Structure 1
Amino acid sequence: MSSVSELVGDGRCAQLQQVVDCAAGRFVCFTRCTAAAWSISVTDGVDVWIWQAGQEELDAHRDVAELSSFEAYFSRFRTAFLAGEVSISGTGHRLQCTLGKGSSTLTYDLYEATASERKEDLKHILFRLADKVTELDLKLADSTNRLDTLRQNHPERQVGAKGGAGFDLDMQRNRGPAAKVRRKEGYSILNPESKRVKAPRGVHFDEEDSS
């Protein structure tokens, strides 16, 4: 049978985090996993509440949710978590964390962490979020460098500066009004290359005096 870390890893639920705004306050909800257990933690920045489960507890919780496989279980959890369908209720030593809506919910009863657990969890999420911000900054810097390179290689297009076809519009504006084409006298308007053919007027006879 797969270990807890393998099950959670396959379900891509080992390192999730979400900010939760609800009636009980503002919290950060996050998951973490060790070789023996998977945990859900909630913190308001000062206190921490935890739900932790090993293999047997996960089996029991999956049965309560009436899901036939861990794949379905973690899929429901991940989908609801990433969609922001996370609510937290309760105060004091106990909190309840609910994921999902309607009949497809998962509920977890969290206990207040001990001093050592609180210290460890706050340190863990602090450095995880710091690593995430650093990673995003590096990706942003790389994208900016790529964009600058494109601008240098194609200065006439001003890639990204004005967006899309902005440079085409500017070129058209700088050209000024189009010069008016003069039609040659005697040529057709519809077909400028051909002369107009005058309609025949018949034969004209000069009138002679009958006298």
Structure 2
Amino acid sequence: MAYSVSQPRNVLYTLIDKNDQSKYVCFTQKKAEGLRIGLSDGLDVWKAVLSEESLSQLKKKFSLKSTEDYALKLKGACRSGSAFVSLQEDGAVLHLGSEPADLNLSFSKLADHEGRTELKDLLFKMADSLTQEDTGATSLSSPVKSPQKKSTGFEPRNQCNGPAIAVRKRLPGDSLINPGTRRKRPATGVDFDDGDDA
């Protein structure tokens, strides 16, 4: 299933509860009814929907320009290390800070069937986004038509992040052990016999 460019971007992140170090997956998506926020521990799924009216109040409160800015602020608060989740019988509360003025979100728990469907959709969205990243990183041409040159292991490797190192050609007579110096010729000795004394 291909996603169009006009489709709103999902924001996906993990949350580690500061109290018991349990992990949750949080995800947000812009819908017609407002911003939909999901929370899951891998087994259960909780959902909250913020209406456009409540979103506009939150945007004013935090001086944000768009709904995506709020989703990214939520992501930053969850990753700050001060967030925690209070689980209840039919819901959960996400506490994004220790102060009472900090934002808390109330979630309702989805039924088992709805939760499994939500996790399935989330799994495929993650796989689709990874697939899109992989196809964006590779070239569009077919590897059969344009085979890549394979490295034999004996060629100098270029570092992607560092500067390219120029390989100097070895001149005849240069030392292999100490490049840049000339090989010393063995001494031939001194001829003390003068040919003129005969």
Into which bin does the TM-score normalised by the smaller protein fall? 0.5 to 0.7
TM-score by length of 1: 0.56
1:74/1:139 Cα in 2 relative to 1: closer, same or farther (>3 Å)? closer
TM-score by length of 2: 0.59
Question: For residues 122 and 175 of structure 2, what CA distance do their matches in structure 1 show?
Answer: 54
What is the identity, as a one-letter code, of the residue corresponding to 2:158? V
Which residue matches 1:121? 118
Which residue matches 2:191? none
Tell me, yes or no, if structure 1 residue 90 matches structure 2 residue 93.
no
Counterpart secondary structure, 2:32: coil
Counterpart secondary structure, 1:66: helix
Counterpart secondary structure, 1:128: helix
Determine if contact 2:91/2:108 at 8 Å carries over to the other structure. Answer: yes
Which residue matches 2:158? 159
In the TM superposition, residue 44 of structure 1 has moved relative to its aligned partner by 1.0
Gapped regions of structure 2 (runs ≥ 5): 1-5, 184-198
Counterpart secondary structure, 1:40: strand
CA RMSD of aligned residues (A): 4.4
Counterpart secondary structure, 1:28: strand
Which residue matches 1:176? 179
Counterpart secondary structure, 1:58: helix
Determine if contact 2:28/2:36 at 8 Å carries over to the other structure. Answer: yes
Question: For residues 12 and 111 of structure 2, what CA distance do their matches in structure 1 show?
Answer: 21
Question: For residues 32 and 150 of structure 1, what CA distance do their matches in structure 2 show?
Answer: 43
Which residue matches 1:130? 127
Question: For residues 102 and 169 of structure 1, what CA distance do their matches in structure 2 show?
Answer: 64
CA deviations 1:76-111 (Å, max 9, x no partner) are 541451572372311233322244787984321112
Partner of residue 72 from structure 2, selected from 78, 82, 86 = 78
What is the identity, as a one-letter code, of the residue corresponding to 1:81? K
Answer with 1 or 2: which has the greater Rg: 1
Which residue matches 1:16? 11
- What is the aligned-residue identity percentage? 19
Question: For residues 107 and 150 of structure 2, what CA distance do their matches in structure 1 show?
Answer: 53
CA deviations 1:107-146 (Å, max 9, x no partner) are 2111211345313321221111111221233244449x8x
Question: For residues 67 and 126 of structure 2, what CA distance do their matches in structure 1 show?
Answer: 26
Q: Which has the higher helix share?
A: 1
Determine if contact 1:77/1:99 at 8 Å carries over to the other structure. Answer: no
**1:31-70 → structure 2 map (5 Å cutoff):** 31-60=28-57, 62=58, 66-67=61-62
Tell me, yes or no, if structure 1 residue 108 matches structure 2 residue 105.
yes
Question: For residues 41 and 175 of structure 2, what CA distance do their matches in structure 1 show?
Answer: 56
Question: For residues 105 and 168 of structure 2, what CA distance do their matches in structure 1 show?
Answer: 58
Which of 71-80 and 16-25 deviates more? Answer: 71-80
Question: For residues 36 and 21 of structure 1, what CA distance do their matches in structure 2 show?
Answer: 29
